[in-house]
Amino acid sequence: MEGNDDWKHIVEAIERHETSKEHLHSCFVHRQWQLHGTLDEEQESIIKRENFFWRQVLTRLLDVTLILSICNLAFRGHKETVYGNDSGPKGNFLSIVELLAKYEPILQELLSKPKDQIKYLSPKIQNDLIAVLVQKVENALVNEIVTAPFYSILFDTTQDISKTDQLCELYRYCVIEKDENGTPKALVIKESFLRFHEDQTALAMSKQIIKSINGKSISLNKCRGQGYDGANTMKGTYGGIQKLIRDIEPNAVYVHCAAHNLNLVVNDAVKEVIEIQTLFETVQQIYNFFGHSIRRWNILSSFISDNKKGETVISSNSVTLKTMNPT
């Protein structure tokens, strides 16, 4: 510290010192000492307030994510911004957040922060929130499967919108429901879907199934059933998935999926009925005749429309002409 020997200008020197950062900081420290507080306690209080605020924000964002997932609604739109007076479509996630911010102070404070600050509203954060909820649901389902005495596995392939085959993973098991007193009241059969896997060869799929089961800490020794379709990759006696898994757990009995079986039976039975073939061919020809001409379609609509409401209805039931479904 340096002293002062210019007594002629002592008043100006005192004014400069009283407004300096060093003096103000020293006064703050002295005041904290008088109140029996410390700088660490004040800083800790600020950190706690920040933590509480962001916990409230994430709780609300998780609730928005959960309701969109339950309703099977898309999250994002063409524009992902909450700034300005842009009226473009933002997507359901940001639109709901903006709506809640009109009535909720936490989200209102969040959206009022400067543009360059973190707000946990980006598409990456939305995906992270979805992943958190997915993991939470999967953990709950896995706990049910682990506590069940036995279970069966159901695997089948399906195509997504990009025509890529994916292997879906399902478990079928029993759960004992209890009342509020903890007394068992019912035995409920549950079937839970966990995830998709990329479709592969029989050997690779069997390894994927075993890896997935072991990765969730589910004992393969408790597996008592396998349900697949009739493809050789799945049911093959020598190289199918069911054989490869039974080599590990002999009690995992393979059963041809009843839904696939019923579909094959109905499909083969219908092919032998000439009248049914003629019926569906006629319906398809009607669609081809009217669907390929706008003028014919308008004529058809005029015969089946309700004159009062102008809707395409017959006996108050909506009518929509569609092409034949292969099923």
- The per-residue pLDDT string of the chain (327 residues; one tens digit each, 9 = 90 and over) reads 466 677 777 777 777 878 888 888 888 877 777 766 555 667 778 888 889 999 999 999 999 999 999 999 988 877 777 655 555 678 899 989 999 999 999 999 998 888 888 888 988 999 999 999 999 999 999 998 988 889 998 888 777 677 777 888 899 998 888 888 888 888 889 999 888 877 666 667 777 788 888 888 888 888 999 888 877 777 778 778 888 888 888 898 888 888 778 888 888 887 788 888 888 888 888 888 888 888 888 888 777 755 444 444 434 345 666 777 765
Domains of the chain listed by start with CATH number:
18-146 (no CATH), 148-262 (3.30.420), 274-318 (no CATH)
Sign for the CA dihedral angle at 68, 69, 70, 72 comes to: positive
- C-alpha dist (Å) from residue 159 to 156, 162, 168, 264: 10, 8, 10, 19
Q: What is the pTM of this model?
A: 0.62
Q: Answer for the pair 125, 114: CB distance below 8 angstroms, yes or no.
A: no
Bridge-based pairing of strands 151-159 and 223-228 is parallel
Taking the alpha carbons at both ends of the chain, their separation in whole angstroms is 91
Q: Are 150 and 224 within 8 A, CB to CB?
A: yes
The two tokens of residue 126 are 């939305």
How far apart (Å, rounded) are the C-alpha atoms in residues 73 and 93?
A: 9
